[in-house]
Amino acid sequence: MSRLKLTDILVTVVISIAFGLVYKIWGPLYYALKPLGFHLDQFIYGMWFIAAIVAFLVIRKPGVALLAEVAASSGEFLMGSEWGLEVLIYGFIQGLFAELVLMAFGYKRSGVIVVSLASIAACTGSLMMDFYKGYIEDLAAWNLALLISMRAAGSIVFSGLLALGIARALERTGVTKILRPASQDDFDTLSQ
Amino acid sequence: MPIQFDNKMTWLHRINPSVKLLGLACLFVVVLFIHNLNVMVLFALGPAILFLFFTGHPFKRILLFSIPFLLIFLSTSSSMILFGKGESTLFKWGLIHITEESLYRGIHLGFRALIYAMLGLTFALTTSQVLLFYSLMQQLKLNPKYAYSFMAGIRLIPIMIEELTTIKYARTVRGIQNTFTVRGILSSIKGYSIPLLSQSIRRAYRIAVAMEAKRFTDSRKRTYYYQTGFSRYDLIFIAYFALFLSLVIFISGHYPLFPVVDVRSL
Amino acid sequence: MPIISSFEKLRLKFPGTKKLLFEDLSLSFKKGEKVLLLGPSGCGKSTLLQALSGLIPNSIEVPIKFDRCTYPDSWGFVFQDPDTQFCMPYADEEIAFVLENLQVPREQMPKRISELLSLVGLDLNDSHSRIHTFSGGMKQRLAIASVLAIDPEVLFFDEPTAMLDSEGTKKIWETVKKISADKTVIIVEHKIEHVIDFIDRIILFDAAGTIIADGRPESVFNSYRTEFEKYGIWFPGVWDQYKATAPTYKTTDFQIKRELFLENFKGFRNKETKIKIKHAEAESADWIAVTGKNGAGKSTLLLSLIQLLKTSGTYQVNGRNITRNKDISSEAGFVFQNPELQFVANTVFDELAITFRQKHDGEELIEKKVSELLMLFNLANQRDLHPYQLSMGQKRRLSVATAVAQNPAILLLDEPTFGQDSKNTFAVLELLESYRKSGHIIIMATHDRQIIQHFATKVWNVIDSEVVVKEAKIPTAAEAGHAYSI
Ligand SMILES: Nc1ncnc2c1ncn2[C@@H]1O[C@H](COP(=O)(O)OP(=O)(O)OP(=O)(O)O)[C@@H](O)[C@H]1O
Ligand SMILES: Nc1ncnc2c1ncn2[C@@H]1O[C@H](COP(=O)(O)OP(=O)(O)OP(=O)(O)O)[C@@H](O)[C@H]1O
Ligand SMILES: [Mg+2]
Ligand SMILES: [Mg+2]
């Protein structure tokens, strides 16, 4: 596994902290939706995995997804999150699960499918934490099923499709070029 | 830094940040293993006392910060109360089925969320971020590459917020109007978020280059401008929670508020 | 003297571009030399410094190839952009960061920090000050202080004084002189007047990045005069020559007379008054130079005039009260001090096209208008680059072009000529002059006293957040010999 360079780490952290700001705003929004019922709140839960995916799509190196999710949640934590330290632990688990999926594809693929799978993995991670912490298995069965499917669908929409959209728009600004190593082509033209 | 007010230093500020963070992590696990409603409710007093009286912030501001907590409590507990499983029905109306079990479980969950929230905010209000990362490098041997990246990242938060204003300025000066149709709003969101991200990336990249130009290397051998160490406040902090927890367990064993012992086995 | 830094047959190319920036460039520096790199804007001076220090390719991955090279053992680098050199929130912490990297014992740090700060003339009440609230000039001094902390063998300066007032510039170069007796110093700088008596070698580049002259300053200036003129590079006496040949514009009769009126006007930053004007006016064909030391409040004044900051008092344009940005935006164009703040599009072309697209011009017309502007501002080869990929001077020109594209009645420009070679400086100034003569109002912050002498009709001197209005008189021949003090 190639080690991350300072530029990679700093860029990941900064992207994540930008998303950390979004995460912080997302908290009150989540609580505002909660009383509406039907687990509408669960649908927007997916936003909390987006840093991992966007950072990976920008840098495409091992470890970035995990680092991004930890960084985003620390940013959220240091800004005084409603969930306190919990966000750090959730962030770590979610990032780890997303990272595992990306690793399984050798960090090579970045299409809709892989990205959605990574989001669902992160979603699974968050659900596992909830099983332990929130007694969600004690919800009535229909309610639990609704919760899970809402959260999974939201993950695909927010941290899957939205992340992909953002990454592609960033690609078009040309900013990602500075982060990628120069291609062999470029070296070849040097020697002509 | 968004949370930066003029406030007094209290003994909570003087605790070693790593100790404080690890202490919180332990409390997180401890609270996770509290399944007794009596213990949970009484234990909530511990963080509450610190949060209300020892952060060094004016009481008015603390009360302002407390408003979201009420929301958290209500919303965390309500979905379990309204939709949880259980036998002894208290109330039933359509899909809503409140049982004694789900009521207790809901209150239990609400208190747990409340404890986490108070601990987290107390930490954020009483810890200097720069000192936190210095302490993580010195006491927990965090790789400086990560620590300084985080510090640089945190330094950029106000700059990013200002950047939003700047993008607004640039759009104003360049005569780009926001329209309030769906397409208009979407394009505004894109018009703000993509420049913000791409500029943050470029800025981060240049800062990393500048850091390397200032001889920042992978090596962990370095001296520190701020020396963080241990003090009696660390002991006070640990003792406070240890004693409090023992006291709570004792009281709830002898004078239970609720008839419940374990919210899981109801 | 031993060679301390060199390249043999350096080739360098930015990914995605077709042309090589350097093709088989060879150069070397001896220990202790003080060298000035001169060349037109965009010829690759900044890039070369980064390659010489090894930042390219170690930190910045740009394809590079050479037959042989020598890197200095220890070096320091001061960058062009004051905003992206720091990683810590406070001034003392930033210098301490360098000292930590060098493993200086903690007990020595506070003393070193205050020494370094006073060495560069950054007199803070408390060294624990937030960098975020510094003016551009203060930031740049801090950057120099933190580089001096390395105590390096070789110092690379990439236009370190672009943002500084003349006093600050002089002080910086005096400081550099003082500390660099035994050091090698390699400088890229357009404002040559203060470095010229300090350097002992000049390397002159043409627009394609090849060396056209290399030698002692006097001999280079004397023997390559035509090249300097051809490529539009600063040389001593260029202003005298320009003034002698400067085109004169006839004042056309402008139909609409415009005026700007300010009384008891105040501009605020974070609820603090940061600029005050008792009374000031401007009318068509005025060119107002806003001057003052670093941090005096020039940018604040311009931002207040375009209503991006909160203001109070009377502010009228053509008799209309101005209280919001909306009231002024159709009348005025604005150029930010930091050109990057100006950009909203992904390519140089789109950046200029935006203005015309808003007017719903047809694509063909847009193509024509934008191409004209690109030619005018010498950016035609860069039309598909992202604005951030441009060199400093190119960015600056693009930002001015975006403001000019709107063809506004009032032009507010915050140091539009810094970091620019002479050809482009004069081109921009002449363009502005033609605007002025056709009845526009130009309000421009600048540190350049030559510009003030030659072009300004009035001077608004900002002293400690307060504007003092003065007439800018054209100096007589006798006065021109002396420093024109404002
Ligand atoms: N990442 C990049 N991709 C493509 N072209 C680039 C990139 N960075 C710089 N360039 C181009 O390379 C050339 C050299 O840039 P450089 O910044 O070295 O110029 P410079 O001589 O320092 O100019 P100035 O005096 O205006 O600062 C410029 O024409 C610029 O447009
Ligand atoms: N974003 C900001 N927030 C708060 N204070 C600021 C900010 N930017 C500048 N200031 C302060 O406002 C004052 C005026 O700054 P301004 O940038 O207007 O100076 P200036 O004359 O343009 O200097 P320079 O020649 O360095 O560009 C300074 O004291 C500066 O510290
Ligand atoms: Mg340059
Ligand atoms: Mg300014």
A138 occurs within a structural domain: yes
What confidence score (pLDDT) does residue C355 get?
Answer: 86
Which helix (H) or strand (E) segment holds residue C434: the answer is helix C422-437
Residues B121 and B204 in one domain: no
How close B67 comes to chain C (CA, Å)?
A: 27
**Residues B152, B206: one domain?**
yes
The answer to whether position A131 is within a domain reads yes
Give me the number of domains chain B comprises.
2
Bridge-based pairing of strands C22-30 and C34-38 is: unpaired
Q: Give the whole-angstrom CA distance, residue C472 versus residue B205.
A: 44
Residue in chain C lying closest to A6 (CA) = C59
Residue A106, token pair as written in the block: 């050798």
CATH number at residue A19: 1.10.1760
B240 and B162, same structural domain? no
Averaged over C285-304, what is the pLDDT?
Answer: 90
Structure-token match 């959260």, residue found: A151
Residues B123 and B204 in one domain: no
C-alpha to C-alpha distance for C329 and C456, rounded to whole angstroms: 24
If asked whether residues B164 and B93 sit together in one domain, one would say no
Q: Is residue B138 in a domain?
A: no
- B10 lies in some domain: no
- Is the pLDDT assigned to residue B266 strictly greater than 70? no
pLDDT at C252: 62
Closest CA to C187 of C203, C171, C174: C203
Closest Cα partner for B175 from C466, A121, C353? C353
Residue C441: the pLDDT is 92
- Check the CA dihedral A16-C388-A186-C66 and report its sign: negative
Whether the predicted pLDDT of C215 surpasses 80? yes
* B84 is a domain residue: yes
* Shared domain check, B205 and B243: no
Question: Which tens digits make up the pLDDT trace of B7-43?
Answer: 678 888 889 999 999 998 899 888 888 888 888 888 9
Residues B203 and B234 in one domain: no
Residue C417 is given by DSSP the state T
For residue C473, the model assigns a pLDDT of 57
CB contact under 8 A, C88 and B166: no
This model of the complex carries an ipTM of: 0.85
**Pocket of ligand 1 contains residue C410 by CB under 6 Å:** no
Chain C contact partners (≥3 CB pairs within 8 A): A, B
| Residue C191, ligand 1, Cβ within 6 A | no
Residue-range definition of the domain harbouring residue A185: 6-190
| More confidently predicted of B176 and C424 | C424
Burial class (CB in 10 A: 0-12, 13-18, 19+), A65: buried
The pLDDT value given to residue C391: 87
C136-178 residue pLDDT tens: 778 888 998 998 899 889 999 998 887 777 777 887 788 888 8
Give the pLDDT of residue B210. Answer: 93
Exposed, middle or buried, C355 (CB in 10 Å: 0-12/13-18/19+)? Answer: buried
Task: Print the SS3 string covering chain B.
Answer: CCCCCCCCCCHHHHCCHHHHHHHHHHHHHHHHCCCCHHHHHHHCHHHHHHHHHCCCCCHHHHHHHHHHHHHHHHHHHHHHHHHECCCCEEEEECCEEEEHHHHHHHHHHHHHHHHHHHHHHHHHHHCCHHHHHHHHHHHCCCCHHHHHHHHHHHHHHHHHHHHHHHHHHHHHHCCCCCCCCHHHHHHHHHHHHHHHHHHHHHHHHHHHHHHHHCCCCCCCCCCCCCCCCCCHHHHHHHHHHHHHHHHHHHHHHHCCCCCCCCHHHC
Does some domain include residue B223? no
Q: Tell whether ligand 1 has an atom less than 6 A from the beta carbon of residue C339.
A: no
Q: Are residues B104 and B41 in the same domain?
A: yes
The pLDDT tens digits of the residues spanning A23-61 come to 888 888 887 787 776 778 889 899 999 999 999 999 999
Task: Answer yes or no: do B81 and B162 share one domain.
Answer: no
Q: From the CA of B224, how many Å to the nearest CA of chain C?
A: 6
Answer whether C34's CB lies under 8 Å from C198's CB.
yes
Chains with 3+ CB–CB pairs under 8 A to A are B, C
Number of domains in chain A: 1
Do B148 and B25 belong together in one domain? Answer: no
- How high is the pLDDT of residue C109? 94
Q: How far apart (Å, rounded) are the C-alpha atoms in residues B185 and C403? A: 26
Name the pairing type of β-strands C22-30 and C75-78. unpaired
The predicted model gives B185-213 an average pLDDT of: 87
| Residue C26: per-residue pLDDT | 93
- Do the domain assignments include residue B9? no
Looking only at the bridges linking them, the beta strands covering C154-158 and C184-188 are parallel
Mean pLDDT, chain A, rounded, equals 87
Tell me which chain C residues have a C-beta less than 8 angstroms from the C-beta of B174. Answer: 342, 344, 354-355, 402
First to last CA, chain C: 44
pTM of the model: 0.85
B5 CA: distance to closest CA in chain C (Å): 14
The CA-atom distances, in angstroms, between A179 and each of A13, A171, B221 are 14, 11, 28
Same domain, B119 and B233: yes
Segment C22-30 shows an average pLDDT of 92
Convert the pLDDT of each residue in B161-171 to its tens digit. 888 888 888 88
Residues 48..77 of C with a Cβ closer than 8 Å to B: which? 53, 55, 58-60, 76-77
Interface probe for C, chosen from A186, A187, A191 (most Cβ of C below 10 Å), is: A186
What is the model's pLDDT at position A186? 76
- Any domain includes A1: no
Domain interval for residue B198: 144-213
B122 and B246, same structural domain? yes
Residue B159, in any domain of the structure: yes
Alpha-carbon distance of C141 to C135, in angstroms, equals 10
Q: Residue C164: exposed, middle, or buried by beta-carbon count in 10 A (0-12, 13-18, 19+)?
A: buried
List, as one string, the DSSP characters of C109-123.
HHHHHHHHHHHTT--
Quickly list H helices, chain A. 6-33, 40-44, 50-59, 64-78, 86-104, 112-133, 141-155, 163-173, 184-191
